[in-house]
Amino acid sequence: MKVGMISFAHLHAESYASALMQMPEVEFSGIYDEDQSRARKWAERFGVKQFATLKDLLDSDIEAVIICSTNADHCRYTVAAAEAKKHVLVEKPIATTIQDANKMIETCKNNGVKLQIAFPVRYLPSVLEAKRIVDSGQLGRILAIKATNHGSMPGGWFVEKELAGGGAVIDHTVHVIDLIRWMLELEVKEVYAEYDRLIHDIPTEDCGLLTMELTNNVFATLDTSWNRPSAYPTWGDVTMTIIGTTGVLELDGFAQKYDLYNNEIKKAQWEYWGGDMDYFLVRDFLLACKNNLPVKVSGEDGLKTLEVALAAYKAGKDHQPVKTEDIK
């Protein structure tokens, strides 16, 4: 199976490309990137072809593409790939507007290609185990969820609203909302949020806190802040505390780590060894394409998480809870 990649604007591209290289049954055909020098750099690094134009890539015999452009470009590239009958794995968030997300979903459907959103956290071994425990019913009825998806400030286009759709809130809302929807089968009904630019000299917010009302009378909070300082031993976290009537589950997604102390780095570092979620994500997507199975994370899943992020922006501006059904 031949796979191409569109844009290396998002840092996860490197990890997905490495995953492709590890799969003997997959041929990584090459890279198209608007930024020619970036395309050259990564094409050389992985020893693959650099496509001069998007058309060249889409005219080639690849069956699927992985899109790691800026968030605002997801729609344009997805639509082009779908019209060329290529399956699409696109970085999260699905898009920056509901209109774009709908267009992506429809175009893929009309052209009979698969659309998967890159929510790799679903593939973390710790998360899969947490889901097994939830499914076993040991927690009883779920009452509340406390979650975090902290990170370091990524800089670059991530802090430009036109390209990213926002800052820390859009960047770090979608992963955990996807987990909540998938693991607990709950939907977000209403969102309240506090967000602000409090740490870095950037155009977007760097701190965010969502408080939500979910289906089944469950409530939740989610901290999306880019507030890990450069001295912090790792990039960030994904944590969830799930409160049930008969038990409490605490998930720390990246807790499988040891501490590294190195005189040159000067700070302690956490070395994670729990498993390569990006590899599992890419493999799963390609298996679905090859065997014509439904993808695990659909465009609709991506759309639902985007709704929550957009509701948070409205709530944070108005200082009032916002219903997700009112996000259009």
Q: Where along the sequence are the contacts to another protein (CB under 8 A)?
A: 143-144, 146, 148, 190, 192, 194-196, 198-200, 206-207, 209, 211, 213, 217, 219-221, 223, 225, 227-229, 231-232, 241, 243, 245, 247-248, 319-321
Strands 115-118 and 87-91 come out as: parallel
Instruction: Tell the smallest beta-carbon distance from residue 195 to another protein (Å).
Output: 8
210 and 312 Cβ atoms separated by less than 8 Å: yes
Q: Considering the complex, state which of residue 143 and residue 163 has its C-beta at the smaller distance from another protein.
A: 143
Q: Report how far apart, in Å, the C-alpha atoms of 16 and of each of 33, 71, 229, 244 are.
A: 15, 17, 26, 36
Instruction: Tell the smallest beta-carbon distance from residue 153 to another protein (Å).
Output: 11
Residues 45, 48, 52, CA angle at the centre, nearest 5°? 105
Instruction: Tell the smallest beta-carbon distance from residue 225 to another protein (Å).
Output: 5
Q: Residue 238 class from Cβ within 10 Å (0-12 exposed, 13-18 middle, 19+ buried)? A: buried
Q: Considering the complex, state which of residue 37 and residue 245 has its C-beta at the smaller distance from another protein.
A: 245
Facing residues of 299 across strands? none
Q: Considering the complex, state which of residue 178 and residue 223 has its C-beta at the smaller distance from another protein.
A: 223
Instruction: Tell the smallest beta-carbon distance from residue 113 to another protein (Å).
Output: 41
Q: Considering the complex, state which of residue 52 and residue 248 has its C-beta at the smaller distance from another protein.
A: 248
Q: Report how far apart, in Å, the C-alpha atoms of 65 and of each of 32, 57, 80, 171, 320 are.
A: 10, 9, 11, 22, 40
Q: Considering the complex, state which of residue 23 and residue 199 has its C-beta at the smaller distance from another protein.
A: 199
151 and 171 Cβ atoms separated by less than 8 Å: yes
Q: Report how far apart, in Å, the C-alpha atoms of 2 and of each of 10, 24, 91, 119, 284 are.
A: 21, 11, 19, 22, 15
Q: Considering the complex, state which of residue 97 and residue 221 has its C-beta at the smaller distance from another protein.
A: 221
Q: Considering the complex, state which of residue 100 and residue 190 has its C-beta at the smaller distance from another protein.
A: 190
Q: Report how far apart, in Å, the C-alpha atoms of 313 and of each of 34, 63, 193, 197 are.
A: 30, 37, 7, 13
**Nearest-angstrom CA–CA distance, 260 and 243:** 33
CA 317 distance to own-chain centroid: 24
Instruction: Tell the smallest beta-carbon distance from residue 135 to another protein (Å).
Output: 20
Instruction: Tell the smallest beta-carbon distance from residue 232 to another protein (Å).
Output: 6
